[in-house]
Structure 1
Amino acid sequence: MFRPKISKEDLSELPNIAFGGEIVVVDNYKQQSVVANYMSNYKIFGFDTESRAVFKKGVKNSISLLQLSAGDKVFLFRLNKIHLSRKIVSFLQSPNILKIGVAVRDDIKELQGVSDFIPHGFVDLQTIVKEWGIFDMSLQKITAIVLKGRLSKAQRLSNWNAINLTPAQLVYGATDAWICCQIYNKLLKVPKISLEEQEAIKKMLFEKEQKEKLISDKHPERKKYIRRVEENKKIK
């Protein structure tokens, strides 16, 4: 059974984890055809997207990168340079091909801004991890809980529209897609917990959160809480 949540302190002590296989940058249509043929041999993919960071309120950049992992390779489609081919769009629409990601609804919406398609076969780790008793929702924390490794997020706000992506960007983009597949495959090897167990964990986490709030120096009910604790000690 997995731990339901992980603290920042515990997370910081874990070893770094990153993709070490082949990274293929796809920035022309000829490449897309070759990649699509390779991808046809697989039924489960890691999935992610990246957009150039914007630091102005209310302004949002269009999607820059689509990352798909398959086997020991990760393909990075530079959507600021190319449109997706029909074969890749068909891939995104296929209910028979699983695309594993985190917060996939947002990614799909971004992709639909550059290619019109009806999504099928997408699996959101944020939705399914509760079936294994996990209640942290970020990819970094899910990775820590399931794979006991720490993802670097240093490149998240970098320029994904740059003429050439840096080696650090390539590894970051590849890792985020690849790690989703690794998490999914690991989860499938572990039995799910019951709905009753899920509810019990949720209740435990809620009570713990409320207690932590009460003992916080800034909480208005702190004095009452401390007084109750002291009274209970006297009774015992």
Structure 2
Amino acid sequence: MQAHHTTRHPTPDKDAIALLPEFERLGLDRITLVSNAPQAHDAYAHLAKATAWGFDTESKPTFKVGEVSDGPHIVQLSTTERAWVFQVHDQECRAVVAELMALGGIAKAGFGLGDDRKRIIQKLGVEPAGVLELNTVFQQRGYRKDMGVKGAVAVLFNKRFIKSKKAATSNWANERLTEAQLVYSANDAYAAIRVFDALGLGLGLV
């Protein structure tokens, strides 16, 4: 059991992170887009064998005041080997994602998941089981409150996690996602499972 530190651990700032070598991301060969029932059932079969996934969602950005997002439009789940990007506009696909989210005994790890969780409940009608907020784990271990994926990757791997602003604010509701969108979204989930592993959380050391 890891003791809770009273000392604060420093986190590298933006400038220091900018000098680090790049964190190796998943390429398209290890990312599967899931947009129909057969693909969803295939993804389920692979994911159900794991004990933990990196988890994230993306929603179409809202730009107008008072505009409410009807996201998530995609849900990303990743093992340390590969990632699946589910488009939830297909009803069957959505049902499989809901089932995956409700699966017990599998940790769903990520950063800043409060909003993702709310949207999953709203759109998929299920309470995600086993959600693990990695920011909380870092806080318990004496790091700053909101590590985020960039800070975590810098601290644990001494690498720089690349996030494209352009992809982040792109339209996630599009039926045809671009390669940049796939790489961006899949790697958010992939980095989360790599961080989960590096923290020793799979060994019950939370």
Query: Shorter chain as normaliser: what TM range?
Result: 0.7 to 0.9
Seq. identity, %: 28
For residue 187 of structure 1, report the CA deviation from its aligned partner. Answer: 1.1
Partner residue of 2:64? 56
Deviates more, 1:129-138 or 1:93-102: 129-138
Q: Which has the larger radius of gyration?
A: 1
Where does 1:110-149 land on structure 2 (aligned, <5 Å)?
A: 110-135=119-144, 136-149=146-159
The reply on whether 1:91 has 2:100 as its aligned counterpart is yes
Partner residue of 1:175? 187
Does structure 2 conserve the Cα–Cα contact (< 8 Å) formed by 1:84 and 1:115? Answer: no
* TM-score (norm: length of structure 1): 0.73
Partner residue of 1:16? 22
2:199 to 177, 187, 199: 187
Does structure 2 conserve the Cα–Cα contact (< 8 Å) formed by 1:23 and 1:76? Answer: yes
For residue 86 of structure 1, report the CA deviation from its aligned partner. Answer: 4.5
Higher relative contact order (CA 8 A, sep 6+): 2
What letter is aligned with 1:5?
Answer: T
Unaligned runs of 5+ in 1: 190-236
Assess, with a 3 A threshold, how the Cα gap between structure 1 residues 56 and 152 changes in structure 2: closer, same or farther.
Answer: farther
For residue 34 of structure 1, report the CA deviation from its aligned partner. Answer: 1.4
For residue 5 of structure 1, report the CA deviation from its aligned partner. Answer: 2.0
* TM-score (norm: length of structure 2): 0.82
Does structure 2 conserve the Cα–Cα contact (< 8 Å) formed by 1:51 and 1:64? Answer: yes
Does structure 2 conserve the Cα–Cα contact (< 8 Å) formed by 1:132 and 1:187? Answer: no
Question: How many residue pairs were aligned?
Answer: 189
Assess, with a 3 A threshold, how the Cα gap between structure 1 residues 83 and 14 changes in structure 2: closer, same or farther.
Answer: farther
Aligned-partner Cα distance in 2 for 1:177–1:130: 20
Assess, with a 3 A threshold, how the Cα gap between structure 1 residues 4 and 82 changes in structure 2: closer, same or farther.
Answer: farther
Aligned-partner Cα distance in 1 for 2:102–2:30: 26
| CA distances 1:152-175 after superposition (whole Å, capped 9, x unpaired) | 222211111223211111111110
Partner residue of 2:204? none
Where does 1:28-107 land on structure 2 (aligned, <5 Å)?
A: 28-62=36-70, 63-82=72-91, 84=93, 86-107=95-116
CA RMSD of aligned residues (A): 2.2
Does structure 2 conserve the Cα–Cα contact (< 8 Å) formed by 1:91 and 1:97? Answer: no
Unaligned runs of 5+ in 2: 202-206
For residue 106 of structure 1, report the CA deviation from its aligned partner. Answer: 1.1
Assess, with a 3 A threshold, how the Cα gap between structure 1 residues 57 and 86 changes in structure 2: closer, same or farther.
Answer: closer
Q: Find the residue that maps to 1:161 and give its secondary structure.
A: coil
